[in-house]
């Protein structure tokens, strides 16, 4: 996966589909931004290091990041450095992939996060 095109894994797509129904948030990119922020806020390294991005949900970096692309890119590069990785394009892309997968898992893991109020509450505690 490159930063130009972001593709989700099928389990991530399935989880986001459920969240779209329960939260009323209709755009994949909005939920993905929440997921990335939640995962990056967790200082631990994601256990899963390889994610198969096999779903049909794909978006451009511009769609994913919107007007805050520089901010998201800086956060990803900072995370690479914090994890002992050079912030190369490949490492940044891989960091995005694994943190998206972990963050999407966080979004659907708790019942309270299946509603907008729960999502806001989760971010407020980060």
CATH topology (fold) of 5-124: Arc Repressor Mutant (1.10.1220)
Encode pLDDT of 78-119 as tens digits. Answer: 999 999 999 999 999 999 999 999 999 998 777 777 777 777
Report the relative pairing of strands 58-60 and 5-7 from DSSP bridges: antiparallel
Q: Work out whether the CA dihedral 74, 4, 32, 64 comes out positive or negative.
A: positive
Quick check: 19 pLDDT over 80? yes
Encode pLDDT of 55-84 as tens digits. Answer: 999 999 999 999 999 999 999 999 999 999
Q: Please measure the distance between the N-terminal and C-terminal CA atoms of the chain and give it in whole angstroms.
A: 28
Task: Give Dmax over CA atoms of the chain in angstroms.
Answer: 39
Tell me the domain boundaries of the chain: 5-124
pTM over cut 0.75: yes
């Amino acid at each position: 996966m490159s930063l130009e095109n972001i593709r989700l894994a099928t389990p991530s797509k399935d989880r986001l589909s459920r969240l779209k129904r329960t939260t009323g948030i209709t755009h994949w990119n909005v939920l993905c931004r929440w997921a990335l922020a939640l995962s990056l806020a967790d200082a631990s390294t994601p256990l899963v290091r390889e994610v198969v991005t096999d779903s049909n949900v794909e978006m451009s970096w511009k769609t994913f990041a919107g007007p805050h692309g520089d901010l998201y890119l800086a956060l990803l590069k900072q995370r690479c450095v914090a994890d002992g990785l050079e912030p190369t394009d490949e490492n940044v892309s891989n960091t995005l992939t694994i943190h998206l997968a972990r963050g999407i898992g966080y979004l659907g893991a708790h019942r309270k996060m299946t509603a907008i109020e729960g999502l806001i509450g989760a971010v407020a505690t980060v």
